[in-house]
Amino acid sequence: MASHSIGPEKTLTVEFSARRYNKGIFEDKIIALARETPYTLFVNDEEIVSISTLPSNLDELFTGFLVAEGVLMSRSEILESRVDHGNRLVMMELDVPNERLEKFESRGMLTSGCAGGLVFSVEAGASSASEREAPVLQIPATTIVERMSELDSYQGTYSLTKGVHAASLADLSRTLVIREDLGRHNAVDKIVGHCLLQGIETRDKLLLTTGRITSEVLTKAARGGFPMIISRSSASSMAMGMAKQFHIDVAMYVRGGRFNYFHHGAVNLVEA
């Protein structure tokens, strides 16, 4: 697979002059905000979608998006991937069956916020998620708390702007990769894309997110092959129904050493 970028990636924050009200007094202050930039994806010279994103790890973002859509199944199907920062384009050449590509029509802009980043068809995405027979993982409950603490303490763009979501890839002993974006969907796509591009086995890994677990996020976890998804926030009823259907365990509200756990047969969580 050939992969390269054209031009430097932009900085991830923009500073603005503002005034801060603090205990009855206004003070001049410089505020850093997360940079939001739209990039348009072309697949085999066809325009697919535009996504507003934090302009980092864009190859992972769009690869993960294509995995979630059921278009990409393996790294070998990517013949070329090119990011043109100057023109805000991501161009990919894929060797995949036509029936997968036919799912796509240009759908306009996917916004960066928490209502955006949707897969084109939740039902279609979930129904064709790959079924797997993996050994049940033995996970100490303290591992869930420790991995979320590592994600929460990450000193990335969030520490400067308080305006992005993060997702992480972890095993039982440590956090392996953390990615940030303006929307929780995009951050999860970056993790899924990273795993595909790097050939990382996901059946024995944990997917963590700072955002809500919606049906769209659960679809991405299923497509990515994760046995468990963990959030410091909540989950929707549809996401939980899908998690049960696809045997993905869910831990949510992971805060202060506590969490709610939904067992669907993928892991064996033990007290420790």
Q: Where are the beta strands (DSSP E) in 60-132?
A: 78-84, 89-94, 109-110
Distance of alpha carbon 180 from the chain centroid: 8
Torsion angle in degrees (nearest 10) through CA of 241, 137, 131, 102: 80
- The question of whether 195 is a catalytic residue gets the answer no
Residue 55 DSSP class: S
Per residue in 181-194, is it b (16+ CB within 10 Å) or e — as a string? bbbbbbbbbbbbbb
For the chain, what percentages of helix, strand and coil (3-state, to nearest 5) are there? 30, 35, 35
Both tokens of 131, joined, read 């079924």
Of the residues 32, 114, 176, 177, only one is catalytic, namely 114
Pick from 103, 57, 105, 102: which is nearest to 81 by CA?
57
The residues annotated as belonging to the active site are: 114
